[in-house]
Amino acid sequence: MKKQYWTEYESKVADDHYYYERSCIRQSFFTGSEEVFINIVRDLLGKDIADDMNLHTCSGIGYYSGVVPLDTTMTVVARLFALMTEAGYKNFVPSCITSFGLVNEVVDMWHHFPEKLEQIRGYLKEANGKEFDVPENIAHPCDIIYKYRKELKEKMKYSLTNVHTGKPLKVVEHIGCHYAKIFPRQVKGGAEFPQVLVGMIQEWGGEVVDYPERRHCCGFGFSQYMVLANRGYSAANSKKKLESMQPFKPDFILANCPGCTMFMDRWQYTIAETEGITYGENGMGIPVLTYEELAAILLGYNPWDVGLQTHQVQVEPLLDKMGIKYDPKDKYVGKSGAFLGEPEKPTHLKVKAYE
């Protein structure tokens, strides 16, 4: 039998004492996801996780967009490592897939070019007077949720089952490129068969959808998306994926990268408004969730406390299939308890089935 090398690729994830590095994109577009992750790790799993007020961007989007030079980005990453070191931690947990890829790339370059590490140490000392240790362990938060998926299942109130049919929900999993494509041997299953989201979906009762463009990029493209003139590149890549998955009628898409989650959600709106094409049932879209959002609603969190109302593709049909109760009047209520009004309805992308 042909040897399947990918089965030997493993993620190394520390058991406890995590230094959480927040993500610009996840904070902005999926604010609730980061809070849910910290709650799950700290309160449900009883682990130690640092949420440092001194954190800042890793500058990765600037680097991959070509406006921040390599030495500058490396020194910004070094400052984050210095904050981790000062706080007494060794296990670095970057919330963003861009950060995850970047810090692994930076550490790998330092390993191969120790003189560059020394140069960056010098830059950081000169600029900030700080010193740092390279993390002993770098794991993405999805690795931690995957690691403890069985423990979390025991606390869940719902499962990935269609309560009307009794059948497993069909889930598309999308892995951000910078999670597994840069260093495939460092993640379970490698670039071709990453297990992190598959493991969550299967453990929590769902069925994974395999489709031709499963491993294709969502199309962020960094500098491509950053200017209006080139957003067609980004939309075209997501469209290719959406067209490929549509015949399998997935109930939702699950992603580990906040950028991918946002793009596959928003491009469904753009494609519907510009071309009149929708990919979900009854003129609606296919909901796209972060893994933290999924864990949260299965655990019984209020979907509107988690931020599901901030998705352009509406999630109520999915919640209904899962038998999750929610209060429609609570959806557009803010922190103060005030009703904030409703967003305008798109022309083509339905917000309610059969409306």
Token representation of residue 67 = 């406006």
193 binds other proteins (CB under 8 A): no
Instruction: List the one residue from 44, 45, 47, 51 that touches other proteins (CB under 8 A).
Output: 51
Q: From the CB of 226, what's the least distance to other proteins, in Å?
A: 5
Residue of 14, 18, 21, 22 that binds other proteins (CB under 8 A):
22
Nearest-CA neighbor of 184 among 2, 15, 3, 7? 7
Nearer to other proteins, 1 or 228 (CB): 228
Cβ proximity to other proteins: between 17 and 240 the closer is: 240
Contact call for residue 243 and other proteins (CB under 8 A): no
Q: Which of residues 86-125 bind other proteins (CB under 8 A)?
A: 101, 109, 112-113, 116, 123-124
* Measured distance CA(32)–CA(303) in Å, rounded: 10
Contact 284, 349 (CB under 8 A): yes
In whole angstroms, give the CA distance from residue 93 to residue 292.
Answer: 14
Tell the smallest beta-carbon distance from residue 6 to other proteins (Å).
12
Q: Which of 88, 154, 166, 228 binds other proteins (CB under 8 A)?
A: 228
Binding status of residue 277 toward other proteins by CB under 8 A: no
Q: Which is nearer to other proteins, 207 or 222 (CB)?
A: 222
- Residues 331, 305: contact at Cβ < 8 Å? no
| Dihedral sign for Cα atoms in the order 282, 287, 293, 298 | positive
By the rule CB under 8 A, 212 interacts with other proteins: no
Q: Check binding of 85 to other proteins (CB under 8 A).
A: no
User: E strands of the chain, at which residues?
Assistant: 18-21, 49-50, 91-94, 137-138, 170-174, 207-208, 252-255, 288-290
C-beta of residue 259 within 8 angstroms of C-beta of residue 26: no
Residue with tokens 């999750």: 324
Match 């109520």 to its residue by tokens.
316
Stretch that binds other proteins, among 138-146, 159-167, 204-212, 329-337 (CB under 8 A): 329-337
H or E element, residue 282? none
Selected from 138, 169, 208, 235, the binder of other proteins by CB under 8 A is 235
Q: Which is nearer to other proteins, 200 or 235 (CB)?
A: 235
Q: Which CB sits closer to other proteins, 180 or 297?
A: 180
The residues pairing with 49 across neighbouring beta strands, listed in sequence order, are 18
311 binds other proteins per the rule CB under 8 A: yes
Question: Judged by CB under 8 A, does residue 21 bind other proteins?
Answer: no
211 binds other proteins (CB under 8 A): no
> What is the layout of strands, in order, in the sheet containing 137-138?
49-50, 18-21, 91-94, 137-138
Q: Which two tokens stand for residue 169?
A: 């929900």
Give residue for tokens 């969502």: 218
Locate tokens 């962020």: which residue?
220
276 near other proteins, rule: CB under 8 A: no
Of the candidate spans 35-43, 145-153, 245-253, 319-327, the one that interacts with other proteins by CB under 8 A turns out to be: 35-43
Beta strands per DSSP E along 122-274:
137-138, 170-174, 207-208, 252-255
Q: Which is nearer to other proteins, 62 or 250 (CB)?
A: 62
How many chain residues interact with other proteins (CB under 8 A)? 97
- Residue 329 binds other proteins (CB under 8 A): no
Q: Which residues within the stretch 119-178 sit at the binding site for other proteins (CB under 8 A)?
A: 123-124, 126-128, 130, 177-178
